[in-house]
Amino acid sequence: MSEKIISLNNLELVKLFGTNNNLFSSIKNLFPEIKIVSRGENIIVKGSQSKIMFFEEKLSLIINHINHYNSLDINSLEKIVSSISSDKIKYEDDIILHGVNGKTIKARTDNQRKIKSAIDKKDMIFAIGPAGTGKTYTAVALAVKALKNKTVKRIIFTRPAVEAGEGLGFLPGDLKEKLDPYMQPIYDALFDMIHIEKLNDFIDNGTIQIAPLAFMRGRTLDKAFVILDEGQNTTIQQMKMFLTRMGKSAKFIITGDETQVDLPKNKKSGLTHAKMKLNKIKEISFVHLDSKDIIRHNIVTKIINEYKKDD
Confidence label for 299 from pLDDT (cuts 50, 70 and 90): confident
Average pLDDT, the chain: 87
pLDDT digits 0-9 by tens, 152-205: 999 999 988 765 444 445 555 555 666 667 788 899 999 999 999 999 999 999
Whether 36 and 8 have beta carbons less than 8 Å apart is answered as: no
What pLDDT score was predicted for residue 86?
A: 44
**pLDDT on residue 194:** 94
Whole-model pTM over 0.85: no
Cβ-Cβ contacts under 8 Å for 123 (sequence gap 6 or more):
246, 250, 251, 252, 283
What is the predicted pLDDT for the residue at 165?
41
- Using CB atoms within 10 A of its CB, is residue 102 exposed (0-12), middle (13-18) or buried (19+)? exposed
Q: State mean pLDDT over 95-120.
A: 90
Cβ-based neighbours of 160, under 8 Å, separated by 6 or more: 212, 213, 230, 231, 233, 234, 238
Q: Do 178 and 168 contact (CB within 8 A), yes or no?
A: yes
Higher-confidence residue of 213 and 292: namely 213
pLDDT at 84 > cutoff 70 = no
The dihedrals phi and psi of 249, each to the nearest 5 degrees, come to 55, 40
In order of start, what are the domains of the chain with their CATH numbers? Answer: 2-82 (3.30.1370.10), 94-310 (3.40.50.300)
**Once rounded to an integer, what is the mean pLDDT over residues 109-121?**
92
More confident residue, 297 or 302: 302
pLDDT-based confidence at 124, cuts 50/70/90? Answer: very high
Spatial distance between the Cα atoms of 237 and 240, rounded to a whole number of angstroms:
5
Residue type, 151: T
91 pLDDT more than 60:
no
Residue-wise pLDDT for 253-296, tens only, equals: 999 999 999 999 899 999 999 999 999 999 999 999 988 888 76
pLDDT digits (tens, 9 = 90+) for 9-68: 778 888 888 888 889 999 999 999 999 999 888 999 999 988 999 999 899 889 888 877
Cα 63 to Cα 61: distance, rounded to the nearest angstrom: 5
Q: What pLDDT is recorded for position 162?
A: 62
Contacting residues for 63 by C-beta, under 8 A, at least 6 apart: 11, 16
